[in-house]
Amino acid sequence: MNLQQHEPAECLFQVAVIGLSTGVVPKRIYIDDVERCRWIPWECLAGDDGVEQEPYDEKAVIWTLATMIWSMFHRAATPLENETGREIRSREYRKQFSFDIIEQLLPTGLFEVVFC
């Protein structure tokens, strides 16, 4: 698929986030479950910085969706797959973490759309 041939409004797709919640937004975050923590934003994790963790809400679901899209375009890579459970659950560690983007794995034009 060449994204440059399509208008932005035509590049729409839907993804259901299954496994993180029984509803659209979970009632509580299971921070002891490392596998769930991989997919949620660092702001939703408890930390030692004295800042209260934010709720896992609609904004956080968008971060989860972006992480899923990153995974899809990186050969189904698992987020934070080389980090320890402690690092994955660490607000401070995750705040400094960034996902690698391998341009060669992305569809033609997607890198330019994301980083324009």
pLDDT value of position 15: 55
Please tell me the total count of domains within the chain. 1
pLDDT value of position 84: 94
Q: Is residue 7 part of a domain?
A: no
pLDDT value of position 28: 63
Structure tokens belonging to residue 29: 């975050």
Range of the domain at 44: 26-114
pLDDT value of position 82: 93
Q: Is residue 73 part of a domain?
A: yes
For every one of its 116 residues, what pLDDT tens digit does the chain have, with 9 covering 90 and above?
554 565 555 555 555 555 555 555 556 666 778 888 899 899 988 887 788 888 888 888 888 888 988 898 888 899 999 999 999 999 999 999 998 888 888 777 766 776 66
Q: Is residue 14 part of a domain?
A: no
pLDDT value of position 86: 92
Residue whose entry in the numeric block shows the structure tokens 């987020």: 79
Q: Is residue 18 part of a domain?
A: no
Closest CA to 1 of 115, 17, 14, 12: 12
Q: Is residue 9 part of a domain?
A: no
Q: Is residue 69 part of a domain?
A: yes
Helix (H) / strand (E) containing 63:
helix 58-72
Q: Is residue 37 part of a domain?
A: yes
Q: Is residue 61 part of a domain?
A: yes
pLDDT value of position 23: 59
Environment class of 10 (CB within 10 Å of its CB; exposed 0-12, middle 13-18, buried 19+)? exposed
Structure tokens belonging to residue 20: 């993180």
DSSP 8-state secondary structure symbol assigned to residue 32? T
Name the phi and psi angles at 64, rounded to 5: -60, -45
